[in-house]
């Protein structure tokens, strides 16, 4: 199996077979998001330069995994940061082959950028769904336009909403990610409120929150050293999380979680059913009635 390290996968793919379909992040052409480790990796690790692997190499890795693991694979995650950038036919080919090799396979999933979802036609998205690609992880990051522009996200709020809706219309499940603290102290209130509203518009299958952690060598680190960006403290992160939920209003089930290692308070619940319970738990944490993850246990 070939891996161009370091590799990243969503927390919920911890037990999945990881297969390198693309390498690096497809946003390299615009310089990457300013908070992301890819900003640094792309400059110091030559083998992480973005590229799509040849289909034959991906199929070889799948076949090697079959020889090693037998058919006991329930989930596959195609690395790296945005495998949906692949052309439709190769993506269909490797997905179909995965199901043929692993009879117990229940799900194939990938990271996806809004632009690549929007570039595919509804028919193409349905093709990859029919092949067995079931779940897309989309980095919403924020529902506030100023925050997205600040961090060079490369997509607007409206593009993110449209992309997620288009994918779900094609039958794909969507898991969106938001980043607490991404607006710093200056944009915290707008970031929280607008992110809750964006979740309400999308009504994704899953929504997960991370907390901003500074990656050395990124523009965010420079902003902080120059006094241009103020990080939120623990109490402010909890308040921002509470406000995100306060401004979220969905009519269908959305699994909400904060199980990423960067977070102070792990939460899991279904919106809208558990909204008030989740908010009550946050309030208890704010009143120091619920233990929080210490900084030394937090990580990317």
Q: What is the DSSP letter of 215?
A: P
Closest CA to 213 of 172, 157, 263: 263
The pair of three-digit structure tokens given for residue 160, joined into one six-digit string: 């993110």
pLDDT reported for residue 50: 86
Q: Is residue 173 part of a domain?
A: yes
Closest CA to 16 of 89, 78, 58, 100: 78
Angle at 214 between CA 212 and CA 216, to 5 degrees: 155
Q: Is residue 2 part of a domain?
A: no
Q: Is residue 141 part of a domain?
A: yes
Q: Is residue 5 part of a domain?
A: no
Distance CA 154, CA 229 (A): 20
Q: Is residue 296 part of a domain?
A: no
The H or E element spanning position 62 is helix 55-69
pLDDT reported for residue 125: 98
pLDDT tens for each residue of 157-176 = 999 999 999 999 999 999 99
Across the range 108-119, mean pLDDT stands at 96
The pair of three-digit structure tokens given for residue 85, joined into one six-digit string: 């950038």
pLDDT reported for residue 253: 98
Distance CA 95, CA 211 (A): 32
pLDDT tens for each residue of 196-242 = 999 999 999 999 999 999 988 889 999 999 999 999 999 999 999 99
Kindly tell me if the per-residue pLDDT of 5 is higher than 90. no
Kindly tell me if the per-residue pLDDT of 299 is higher than 90. no
Confidence of residue 42 (pLDDT cuts 50, 70, 90): low
pLDDT reported for residue 71: 85
Please give the model's pTM, rounded to 2 decimal places: 0.94
Q: Is residue 293 part of a domain?
A: no
Beta-carbon count within 10 A of 180 CB: 27
pLDDT reported for residue 15: 92
pLDDT reported for residue 283: 98
Kindly tell me if the per-residue pLDDT of 94 is higher than 70. yes
Helices (H), the chain: 38-44, 55-69, 88-101, 114-119, 122-131, 145-150, 157-169, 188-202, 219-225, 234-246, 275-286
What is the total count of domains within the chain? 1
pLDDT reported for residue 167: 98
pLDDT reported for residue 30: 59
Distance CA 256, CA 278 (A): 9
Please state, rounded to an integer, the average pLDDT across all residues of the chain: 94
Q: What is the DSSP letter of 53?
A: P
Q: Is residue 243 part of a domain?
A: yes
Q: Is residue 41 part of a domain?
A: yes
pLDDT tens for each residue of 8-26 = 888 889 899 999 999 988 7
Kindly tell me if the per-residue pLDDT of 298 is higher than 80. yes
Distance CA 51, CA 58 (A): 13
Instruction: Find the domain containing 274 and state its range.
Output: 11-287
pLDDT reported for residue 186: 97
pLDDT tens for each residue of 132-149 = 999 999 999 999 999 999
The pair of three-digit structure tokens given for residue 128, joined into one six-digit string: 């990859």
Confidence of residue 284 (pLDDT cuts 50, 70, 90): very high
Kindly tell me if the per-residue pLDDT of 29 is higher than 70. no
Close Cβ partners of 276 (under 8 Å, ≥ 6 residues apart) = none
Beta bridge mates, 178: 141, 209
Kindly tell me if the per-residue pLDDT of 56 is higher than 90. yes
| Locus of tokens 């193409």 | 124
CATH assignment of the domain containing 137: 3.20.20.70
């Amino acid at each position: 199996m070939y891996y161009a390290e370091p590799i990243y996968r969503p927390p919920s793919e911890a037990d999945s077979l990881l297969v390198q379909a693309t390498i690096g992040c497809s946003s390299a052409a615009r310089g990457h998001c300013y908070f992301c480790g890819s900003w640094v990796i792309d400059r110091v690790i030559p083998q992480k330069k973005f590229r799509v692997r040849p289909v034959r190499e991906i199929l070889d890795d799948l076949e090697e995994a079959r020889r090693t693991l037998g058919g006991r694979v329930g989930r596959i995650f195609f690395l790296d940061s945005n495998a949906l950038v692949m052309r439709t036919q190769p993506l269909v080919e490797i997905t179909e082959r995965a199901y043929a090799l692993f009879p117990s396979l229940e799900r194939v999933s990938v990271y996806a950028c809004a632009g690549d979802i929007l570039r595919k036609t509804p028919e193409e998205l349905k093709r990859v769904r029919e092949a067995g690609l079931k779940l897309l992880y989309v980095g919403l990051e924020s529902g506030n336009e100023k925050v997205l522009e600040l961090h060079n996200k490369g997509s607007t709020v409206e593009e993110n909403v449209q992309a997620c809706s288009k994918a779900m219309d094609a039958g794909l499940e969507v898991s969106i990610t938001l980043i607490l603290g991404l607006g710093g102290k200056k944009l915290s209130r707008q970031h929280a409120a607008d992110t809750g509203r964006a979740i309400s518009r999308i009504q994704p299958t899953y929504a997960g929150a991370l907390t901003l952690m500074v990656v050395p060598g990124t523009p965010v680190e420079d902003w902080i050293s120059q006094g241009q960006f103020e990080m939120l403290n623990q109490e402010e992160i909890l308040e921002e999380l509470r406000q995100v939920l306060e401004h979220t209003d969905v009519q269908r089930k959305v699994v909400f979680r904060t199980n990423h290692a960067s977070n102070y308070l792990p939460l899991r619940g279904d919106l809208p059913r558990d909204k008030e319970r989740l908010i009550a738990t946050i309030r208890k944490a704010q009143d120091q009635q619920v233990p929080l993850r210490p900084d030394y246990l937090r990580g990317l």
